[in-house]
Amino acid sequence: MSSKKLSTRQLKKKKIIENRKFNKTMLVSFSLVFLLVILILLLIYWCDVRYTYRKYDLYSKTVPNELVCISHNNLQYHKSYKVLYKNNSYYICGHDCHQHLINHFREVAFAPDAFSGDTICKANAFVGLKEKGEPKLVYFKNKQNLKKYYETKSRQ
C-alpha cells in the first residue's frame, strides 16, 4: 500500500477550505443564536416595548380611552376597564381606582382643558399625552383644542 502524501501547497489549500467552512458555520451559528436571544428578549419584554412605543407614537394624537386610567391620569400598559357611573363611561385600571372614582367623584371625574382652561368631564374629553415619552395625560374639550395645544407646544 502506498500512502498518499500531500504537498505543502495542497495542505495549505485544504486548510484554507476547511477554515472557510468553519468560519461560515460559526457565522451562521452565532447569527442564529443572536437572533434567538433578541426574539426571546422581545417576547419577555413585549409589554414594556409596546408601552414605550406608545409613549412616543401617541404624542400629538388622541389617546384611545381604553389605554387611559382617569384616576391616575396616566397611560396604561394594558387596556383599562370601562365603568358606567352617573350615566358616563369612565376608564380605570382596577378596583382601587373604581373606589377612588366613587369616593372622590368631583376631583377625579373632572379636569381642566389643557388649552382653554375650561372644566370638562373626563368621560367626554379627548385625551392626549402631556410630554413626549412621558405617561402623563391631559384632557381637551374638542379636537381643535387638542391640535392647538400641540401646535403651541411645537413652537416653544
Per residue in 82-127, pLDDT (tens digit) is: 999 989 999 999 899 999 999 999 999 999 999 999 999 999 999 9
Q: Is residue 3 part of a domain?
A: no
Interval 14-38: pLDDT, tens: 888 888 899 999 999 999 999 999 9
Instruction: Give the contacts of 7 (CB within 8 A, at least 6 positions apart).
Output: none
Same domain, 67 and 33: no
Task: Select from 42, 72, 68 the least CA-distant residue to 55.
Answer: 68
Same domain, 36 and 68: no
Q: Is residue 82 part of a domain?
A: yes
Quick one: DSSP state of residue 79?
P
Task: Quote the CA–CA distance of 101 and 73 in Å, as a whole number.
Answer: 12
Same domain, 18 and 74: no
**Per the structure, how many domains does the chain have?**
2
Same domain, 134 and 78: yes
Same domain, 67 and 29: no
Q: Is residue 1 part of a domain?
A: no
- First-residue to last-residue Cα distance in the chain: 90
Q: Look up the pTM and report it.
A: 0.75
Same domain, 110 and 37: no
* Length reported for the chain: 156
Task: Quote the CA–CA distance of 156 and 153 in Å, as a whole number.
Answer: 5
Same domain, 38 and 111: no
Task: Quote the CA–CA distance of 83 and 86 in Å, as a whole number.
Answer: 10
Residue 4: its pLDDT value, please? 67
Q: Is residue 53 part of a domain?
A: no
User: What does the block give as the cell for 73?
Assistant: 391620569
Domain that holds residue 24: 8-44
